[in-house]
Amino acid sequence: QSALTQPPSASGSPGQSVTISCTGTNNDVGGNNYVSWYQQHPGKAPKLIIYEVAKRPSGVPDRFSGSKSGNTASLTVSGLQTEDEAEYYCCSYAGTNYVFGAGTKVTVL
Amino acid sequence: EMQLVESGGGLVKPGGSLRLSCVVSGFNFRSYSMNWVRQSPGKDLEWVASVSSTGNYVYYADSVKGRFTISRDNAKNSLFLQMNSLRGEDSAVYYCARNVATNSRGGFDPWGQGTLVSV
């Protein structure tokens, strides 16, 4: 059982936006600004796309954005492209450990 | 280019041991905290352990505490995970991953390609 709650699936047409939520507790998401998001394509290692709630690593398109309100973090993918179809995981630091969500499968219709 | 290359995975019987290694290149290894993260066949990602840049501080998930040991050799740009008393639920792809920044707990980047452990 994952510590962070994500919807199992989300979808959108090319060009549309999709937002994925990630709900935790005061001990993790709500307790610090160390939320990160990962994109994973089948057979590949996870790739960091958002760190520290809203920062983008070099090379990640600005179509990806992150935010947080209380115990819920969100990832928004704007202007969906076919290559955005993947599994997305959130993660939060929780004091001395890290917790992940179970992942959200994003389908580009 | 930053690279992390894991090795040491394989098939082991319950109760057995394995030692995973991760050799890194392309960045100043001794400046970063490092981590092991695993992904079960059911796809769930689970943080396993972290070690500080100097190796002085280590942290473990409750699920592996007392059975796994994380360590590093900064002279050899290498990270290790000694896994003892292995159980079926330890079966997973094990990734080594660097903290995104030297003074941040805000994410893991980059990741290795992973090594498969089957118990």
- pLDDT, one tens digit per residue, over A18-71 is 999 999 999 999 999 999 999 999 999 999 999 999 999 999 999 999 999 999
Confidence (pLDDT) at A2: 60
Residue B63: phi and psi, rounded to 5, are -70, -20
In this prediction, residue B103 has a pLDDT band, given cuts at 50, 70 and 90, of confident
Q: Which residue has the tokens 């057995």?
A: B16
In the predicted model, what is the mean pLDDT of residues B5-9? 97
Among B1, B46, B109, B113, the strongest candidate for a mutation testing the A interface, having the largest count of A CBs within 10 A, is B109
In the numeric block, the tokens 């394509």 are attached to: A41
pLDDT of residue A1: 52
The closest alpha carbon to B54, from B79, B26, B30, belongs to B30
Pick the residue of A27, A68, A98, A104 with the most B CBs within 10 A to test the interface with B by mutation.
A98
Find chain B residues with C-beta within 8 A of A45's C-beta.
Answer: 95, 111-114
Give the tens place of pLDDT for each residue, B21-57.
Answer: 999 999 999 999 999 999 998 889 999 999 999 999 9
